[in-house]
Amino acid sequence: MSTDLRARQAARRRLPIGIQTFRTIREEGCYYVDKTPFIERLLDRGTHYFLSRPRRFGKSLFLDTLKELFEGSEALFEGLAIHGRWDWSVRYPVLRLSFGSGNFKAPDYLHTNLMAQLAAIERQAGVGSAHSSAPERFGDLIEALHERAGQRVVVLVDEYDKPILDALEAPEVARANRDYLRGLYATVKDRDAHVKLTFLTGVSKFSKVSLFSGLNNLLDITLDPRYSSLCGYTEADLDTVFAPELPGLDRDEIRRWYNGYAWLGEEKVYNPFDVLLLFDRRKFGAWWFETGTPTFLLDLMLERGVGSLDVENMLGGDALLSAFDVDYIATEALLFQTGYLTIREAQWRVGKMVYRLGYPNHEVRQSLNESLLSHLTGDPAKRAEHDAGLHDLLLANDFAALETLFRAFFASIPYQWHTNNDIANYEGYYASVFYSYFAGLGLDVTVEDSASRGRLDMAVRFNGNVYLFEFKVVEVAGDGAAMAQLKERGYADKYRHLGQPIHLVGVEFSRESRTLAGFEVARA
């Protein structure tokens, strides 16, 4: 074994997969990315904070770091940025709530869960309560902790929104949970004189009117560039903290698969869960995506006729990305807040900020499109069979067999899915299905690629070949409109510099029968 290899192995640490406890990470010598500089910045600016990030992004770990810091666990912070700049002689009482577990779909369960949490904190602090209602009990507990410790209280709430999100399919319960939490969070403002810091985290960003009307001094740092990497790993983190794990892995592939999440900061970040699983398994996979099945999301997209092409290039402003409540969830807000879309570009237009959204990385793009197709056909096994066939036929450039494959695939889509799409935009629907088919395979796909004389519907690059697709919904099958447009507008010219074979594929769909009506191929 070489000296260099021994040195790298000796420097390797335990991967903190699934560990959300700061103490465990520090005491067991796990890898840790220092987030303490953000804490100093927070304390200099205000008192009440809110942060929204997708699941498994390190929100719980950050809250636990805050807990240990304010409780004065100095030994855990040795070597970290904040250690020499913190007054360790002062210890603050911490009141931490978490809604990470429990059956919040059940009516009144939220009250039972919260009262049990408050009772546990009271027992540990040695205080009692005569209240049977949560806001009063919560408020009295804040005051009692302040009085006993002689220092103001740090209030931490993890997964503040889960009681609502879990019950979205039971709207009456979701509304009741929302209203219950609104009363609870309003208590924090009423006890402001007793509070040192409030920090709430969750996946979604409910509007202040619907949930935080009583806590209107809450500072939302979700899209504050100064906190864009408060959760997640940066490129520098991978190259320094995780340097011992990189040998043997393609650095560019790591970036393509997992980097790309942006919240208006100067750099994009990685989902920590993906990075840790990659280093553990030593192979690329949809690790984050596979931990949650977005059934509600897929149902909503199909119900609203939102296709994969719509997802690829959505626009949204501050108001739209916050349009999230029990009675209405904007598609853009849902996709963005849950991590299936991220901000690609921000532009100031007519007095307001507009964000261009897109898939953050290869993992999400491939996996979401794969899930959309499985959801669309209702038969994952059949879809997997089609995937294998598409890959092999593209390798062979067997276009006759490809036409047969696509005809069979579209015939497998249940009729009711067609009815969810406006016939006026039926061309876009078919194009979206085609796009999901190729993107779900992980192929290099570009949509609506601009050329000098128009926009090409879809370009696919694979195995040293370029495939240019144009889609048309026609009244009369076989009129060649799609192929004619490909040739007349010279879409192939943009790709000739590659020196690769270029195939023009004109695809037509019958408006009447809603099936594949024409599939014409030519070399450019």
Residue 90 located in a structural domain: yes
Q: Looking at this protein, which amino acid is placed at residue 440?
A: G
Pairing of strands 465-474, 454-462: antiparallel
Structural contact between residues 409 and 438, judged by C-beta atoms closer than 8 angstroms: no
Radius of gyration, alpha carbons of the chain = 26
The neighbouring-strand residues paired with 461 are: 444, 466
**pLDDT, greater one: 11 or 143:** 143
Q: Residue 142 domain-assigned? A: yes
**Residue 451 belongs to domain with CATH number:** 3.40.1350.10
pLDDT tier, 361 (very low <50, low <70, confident <90, very high otherwise): very high
Alpha-carbon distance values, 430 to 70, 285, 433, 457 (Å): 56, 28, 5, 11
User: Letter for the amino acid at 289?
Assistant: F
- Asked if 356 contacts 343 with a C-beta cutoff of 8 angstroms, the reply is yes
pLDDT digits (tens, 9 = 90+) for 136-148: 999 999 999 999 9
pLDDT in tens, 300-341: 887 887 878 788 778 888 877 877 888 888 889 889 999 999
CATH of the domain at 155: 3.40.50
User: Is 251 exposed, middle or buried, given 0-12, 13-18 or 19+ CB atoms closer than 10 A?
Assistant: exposed
| pLDDT above 70: residue 103 | yes
323 falls within a domain = no
* Residue range of the domain that includes 179: 34-227
Within a domain: 25 = no
End of a domain among 205, 227, 249? 227
Judge whether residue 8 has pLDDT over 70.
no
Which of 227, 261, 280 corresponds to the end of one domain?
227
Q: What is the pLDDT of residues 464-499, one digit of tens each?
A: 999 999 998 887 766 788 999 999 999 999 999 999
Sheet containing strand 502-510, edge to edge, reads 444-451, 454-462, 465-474, 502-510, 516-523
The percentage of the chain sitting over the pLDDT mark of 70, rounded to a whole number, equals 91
Boundary-marking domain end, from 175, 202, 227: 227
Contact 368, 340 (CB under 8 A): yes
pLDDT digits (tens, 9 = 90+) for 203-249: 988 766 677 776 777 899 999 999 999 999 999 999 999 999 999 99
Query: Mean per-residue pLDDT for 63-77?
Result: 98
Let me know: does 115 contact 107? Beta carbons within 8 Å: no
What pTM value is reported for the model?
A: 0.90
pLDDT band at 9 (very low <50, low <70, confident <90, very high): very low
Q: How far apart are the first and last CA of the chain?
A: 54
The structural domain count of the chain equals 2
Among the residue ranges 42-51, 96-105, 358-367, 384-393, the one predicted with the least confidence is 384-393
Q: Taking 70 as the threshold, does the pLDDT of residue 111 lie above it? A: yes
The percent of the chain in helix, strand and coil, each rounded to the nearest 5, is: 45, 20, 35
Is 365 inside any structural domain? no
- What are the structure tokens assigned to 357, written together? 């959204």
Q: Is residue 204 part of a domain?
A: yes
